[in-house]
A and B are shown apart, each in its own frame.
Chain A
Amino acid sequence: MIDQEAEQLEEAAERLTELALENGLDFFPMRYQVCPAEVLYSIGAYGMPTRFTHWSFGKAYQRMKTEYDHGLSKIYELVINSDPCYAFLLDSNTLLQNKLIVAHVLGHSDFFKNNAMFAGTDRQMVERMAVFADRIERFSHEYGSDEVEAFLDAGIAIQEHVDPFVRFGRTEGFREADGGVKDVIGYIAGHSRYLEEWQREILYMLRAEMLYFWPQMETKIMNEGWASYWHLKLVRELDLSDSEIVEFAKMNAGVIQPSPGRINPYYLGLMMLRHIEKKEGLKALFEIRETESDVSFIRNYLTKELAEEMDLFVFKQEERVYKVTAKDVAEIKDNLIRSRTNGGFPYLTVKDDDLHGRGELLLDNRYEGLELDRKYVERTLPLVHRLWGRNVHLRTIVDGQEKTYVYDGKHLAG
């Protein structure tokens, strides 16, 4: 970036920061990093610049990078929930693009700082993940990188099964009404009789990282909607040249454009917020950004009027085509909520760790209208066995009937 443009960006950032404060945004101190595409995409693939190394991140990186190289998709920025808040800008962004992005990430930073879901997250996670990465590297030296990788493969397979209400330490999550434990990864780390200390430590690390990422999965629509709302509002208050206005309109359209057949969280979130603002005023928006997650946001604020205005619908695959099956707002809400519940992952709990008196593990899948993909069960259950060391059972619903899969170390039954 040439010096003059760097100076202009500095000025614009200063102006936008002022405007954000005037408008009542309350954000962490911002640390913008201008970096090349490879760096931006690697941060995107890992979720964090300091995260440990694993081939699955390399795979994600390759895919994102290839799409970028072929002009299929482009990430303009990445922002990290931390204090101070790090935002990474692509070094090929134009000045105007950077203005929009600065405004956008100010919205994210405010959301991270004030939304209740994020209240328990560790704002020093950048450094903590660097420590994790370091530990994992030491384990690789000590126990062999293949061994550690194979263990990570197994841990990653169940990393989403945390209890989001456990934000700190190693305490177990709440017991469900039926006695099940939602914190599957934490439970296995604490109770498997088979694991070595370093293996338990890795599971706890994966769990801590997932607890940190979890609120972002729970608030995708709100968070993007909020940031888009603010980039529109703040950039409009800047003095833009005519050509900048055209460029801004183009870029904005690209980001919040509704893509046919799927839900764009930026667009859905933005439309909902604007709708609420019209009816209840700006103050109500600030309250909503503080208290709601995607699920409650949709449940409480997606109206019939809005669903019609946005032309939302329910569709499903019938034979070889996708067909619209409903326009009813209740049905739309049900399906949207279901896809956002528990981060979109099946809800599993540890139900018994001494099944048949032989120390076998029973996982229970709480059925919520969607059945598990059997092909994935076939490949994931053996990995749980790798962690537990004894037979693992998974109770679920198949074709409307209760069914229990069992993996005994060699074969999957059920």
Chain B
Amino acid sequence: MDKRLFVIARDDWSLHRKGEIDQERHKRKVKEAIRENLADLVSEESIIMPQGDKVIKVPIRSLDEPKFRYNTQDKPQVGQGQGGTQVGDIIGRAGEGDAAGPGKGREAGDQPGADYYEAELTIDELAELVFEDLKLPKLKPKAAPDLTVEDVRFEDVRKQGMISNVDKKRTLFEAIKRQALSGGLPGAAGAAAWSESGDDYGGYDADAGSGAAGAVPAPGTNDLAGTAARLGLTLGLHSAESAGVIPDSGASVPVLGPIIGDDLRFKTWEDIRKPQSSAVVLAMMDTSGSMGSFEKYVARSFFFWMVRFLRTKYENVQIRFLSHCTEAKEVDEDSFFRKGESGGTKCSSVYELAHAILDADYPPGQFNAYAFHFSDGDNLDSDNPATVKLASDLLEKVNMLGYGEIRQHIYGSKRLWESLAGLNSPAFVQAILKEKEDVFKTLKAFFGDEVAAS
């Protein structure tokens, strides 16, 4: 029979990477969309509470390709049973997704009514996005050396080195160059000839290119072959006799001679020691009875991200956890995030404790100190002057003092906010948090670039 009726080919598809490339593009778009929603995500309850690398699902509306489509949600569709189905039978529950009718197009019909694309990401991936622009502001080099960052950078190529660091590409290049210069390499155009070799995709234009060009306002057949070659497509037109055209088979393919010692090139590196500064961060939280569940939640959200951020970005920052009602005490991390107190509020107590801790453990000149205090601002009136005095003194000892006041309602004056507002120091930053979304804003305000200018 006519052999031309079919050809079976096994081409090298390793250059066909379009899917991966567009997949990356799609992932970048997902990331951009997530970045736009960070304020919502940061205060998402499901993220703050559990530990571990939980995967969260983020609905993203903009990434489902918009089209005019039918709303089929409660419209009749045709299905098929296994026999004996009767009118009135229930064949599935809404939301299980498996009882959808005949799909329309690629995705429509799968989930009627849902117009978003659900991206999945881990908390770590989310954290990476949140922390992108955050840093400890006003960090200064201090004496205590325990906060160093070490880096290795390959930045030079030399002729001597350890064989494990040999730079294969450059070595090969040197060998080719040497042999080409000495005329020892057959077909000295070597490197260039390999990539342009018509053999690789030779079958293509001969067979398939001819029919298409006329139909389109576009370049001729050479471009076709070029496009196909660039995309790594050969489309089955290799017949049996040309199936083995990979460079190692043909006699005409240039052969590289031996590599000699002089060709060898090695990568070398340098250690980079960045002078880093030691830092201590005091996390101070009001846990008094007036802090309702919303206030506590917002404060903890902030500290959750702060702790995560500091530990991700800085190797050896020390974090001390201080909670207070009328009295302040240092607690461990777990109780800080989980336990609530009750009773009245004396904010001065936590500032006193902050002084005590700094004085005892962190000699000035050796540590960068930061303090962040979150409260609903409902302080004992008589305590406000004392708090302001202590806070003012604290500013002498810390690089920055951040005060976040959480209040859902504007009313109620005589808050700590008004009293502290008098503090006139570039090292003092305050923020009001009215809703969950403000957590992200506050992170940006306290650890963002804007405060770093000093």
Which residues from chain A sit less than 8 Å from chain B, CB to CB?
1, 6, 9-10, 13-14, 17-18, 21, 29-36, 38-39, 41-42, 45-46, 49-50, 53-62, 65, 84, 86, 91, 122-124, 126-128, 130-135, 153, 156-158, 160-161, 201, 217, 258-265, 267-268, 310-327, 331-332, 335-336, 339, 343-346, 348, 365, 369-377, 379-380, 383, 394
Check B257 for interface membership: any CB of A closer than 8 A. no
CA distance A372 to B75 in the complex (A): 12
Q: Judge whether A39 and B16 touch: CB under 8 Å.
A: yes
**For the complex, is B233 an interface residue (Cβ under 8 Å from A)?**
yes
Q: Which 7 A-B pairs have the closest CB atoms?
A: A58-B22, A42-B19, A31-B236, A127-B212, A344-B104, A61-B19, A373-B71
CA distance A14 to B1 in the complex (A): 8
Inter-chain contact B22/A55, CB cutoff 8 Å:
yes
**A128–B216 contact, CB under 8 A?**
yes
Closest B-chain residue to A106, C-beta based?
B6
Q: Across the interface, which residues of A come within 8 angstroms of B425, CB to CB?
A: none
Chain A residues contacting B92 (CB-CB under 8 Å) are 261, 321-322
Which of the listed residues B27, B85, B108, B213 has the most CB atoms from chain A within 10 Å of its own CB? B85
Q: Which residues of B contact A41 (CB under 8 A)?
A: 19
With A21-B1, A49-B16, A91-B10 known, 13 other A-B pairs at CB within 8 A are A17-B5, A58-B19, A59-B63, A65-B23, A131-B227, A156-B65, A261-B79, A261-B80, A263-B101, A267-B80, A317-B74, A339-B77, A373-B71
List the B residue with the shortest CB-CB distance to A156.
B65
User: With the chains together, A327 CA to B80 CA distance in Å?
Assistant: 10
Give the CA-CA distance A375 to B67 in the complex, in Å.
10
A245 to B202, CA, bound (A): 41
Determine whether the beta carbon of B69 is less than 8 Å from that of A372.
yes
A17–B9 touching, CB < 8 Å: no
- Rounded to whole Å, the gap between the CB of B27 and the closest CB of chain A is 8
Q: Which A residue sits closest to B105, measured CB to CB? A: A344
Total cross-chain contacts (CB, 8 A): 324
A258 proximity list for chain B (CB < 8 A): 80, 82
In chain A, what residue has the closest Cβ to B11? Answer: A33
A31 in contact with B235 (CB, 8 Å): yes
Please state if A312 and B22 are interface contacts (CB–CB under 8 Å).
no
Chain A neighbourhood of B7, CB < 8 A: 30-32
What's the minimum C-beta distance from B108 to chain A, rounded to whole angstroms? 8
A124-B215 in contact (CB<8A): yes
Contact in complex: A262, B94 (CB < 8 Å) = no
The answer to whether B99 touches A322, judged by C-beta atoms less than 8 angstroms apart, is yes
Given the known A-B contacts A1-B10, A311-B84, A335-B77, are A59 and B26 also in contact in the complex, defined by CB atoms under 8 Å?
Answer: yes
Q: Name 28 interchain pairs, CB-CB below 8 A, sorted by A.
A: A13-B6, A29-B6, A33-B235, A34-B8, A50-B227, A50-B228, A56-B65, A58-B22, A127-B208, A132-B216, A157-B67, A158-B67, A158-B68, A161-B68, A261-B79, A262-B98, A263-B80, A265-B102, A268-B80, A311-B83, A313-B81, A325-B76, A335-B76, A370-B71, A373-B69, A379-B61, A379-B115, A380-B68
Instruction: Determine the distance from Cα of A331 to Cα of B103 in the docked complex, in whole angstroms.
Output: 19
Q: Are B94 and A312 closer than 8 Å at their CB atoms? A: no
Nearest-neighbour CB distance to chain B for A407, whole angstroms, equals 12
For residue B264, give the distance in angstroms from its CB to the closest CB of chain A.
Answer: 36
Stretch from B217-225, B325-333, B435-443 forming part of the interface with A: B217-225
Q: How far is the CA of A156 from the CA of B83 in the complex (A)?
A: 41
Residue B206, interface by CB 8 Å: no
- What is B's interface to A at a CB cutoff of 8 Å? 1, 4-11, 13, 16, 18-27, 29, 61-63, 65-95, 98-106, 108-109, 112-113, 115, 117, 208-209, 211-213, 215-219, 223-224, 227-228, 231, 233, 235-237
A50 with B80: CB separation less than 8 A: no
- Write the nearest CB–CB distance from B204 to chain A, whole angstroms: 9
Inter-chain contact A42/B16, CB cutoff 8 Å: yes
Q: Which residues of A contact B25 (CB under 8 A)?
A: 53, 55, 58
Complex Cα spacing A283 to B7, Å: 30
Q: How far is the CA of A131 from the CA of B88 in the complex (A)?
A: 54
Of all chain B residues, the one with the shortest Cβ separation from A396 is: B68
Which of A31, A49, A345 contacts B68 (CB under 8 A)? A345
- B6 is contacted by which of A32, A36, A313 (Cβ under 8 Å)? A32
A contact residues around B23 at 8 Å (CB):
58-59, 61-62, 65
Task: Assess the A372–B68 pair: CB atoms within 8 A.
Answer: yes
Complexed CA–CA distance, A323 and B93 (Å): 9
Q: Are A315 and B233 in contact (CB under 8 A)?
A: no
- Chain A residues with Cβ below 8 Å from B1 are 14, 17-18, 21
Kindly list chain B residues whose C-beta atoms are within 8 Å of the C-beta of A86. 235-236
Smallest beta-carbon distance B199→chain A, Å: 19
Q: How far is the CA of A124 from the CA of B224 in the complex (A)?
A: 12
A180, chain B: closest CB distance, angstroms: 15
Measured in the bound complex, the distance between the Cα atoms of B63 and A58 in whole Å is 12
CB < 8 Å neighbour of A58 from B26, B69, B218, B223: B26
What distance in Å separates the Cβ of A101 from its nearest Cβ neighbour in chain B? Answer: 12
B224 near A130 with CB under 8 A, answer yes
**Using Cβ atoms and an 8 Å threshold, which residues of chain B touch A322?**
79, 90-94, 99
Q: Which residues of A contact B216 (CB under 8 A)?
A: 128, 131-132
Give chain B residues whose Cβ lies under 8 Å from the Cβ of A35.
10-11, 13
Whether the Cβ atoms of A317 and B80 lie closer than 8 Å is no
Contact present for B65 and A29 (CB under 8 Å): no
State A265–B78 Cα separation when bound (angstroms).
12
- Chain B residue numbers with a CB within 8 Å of A318 are 74
B446 to chain A, nearest CB (A): 33
- Asked if residues B215 and A9 are in contact (CB atoms below 8 Å), the reply is no
In the complex, what's the smallest C-beta–C-beta distance from B432 to chain A, in angstroms? 32
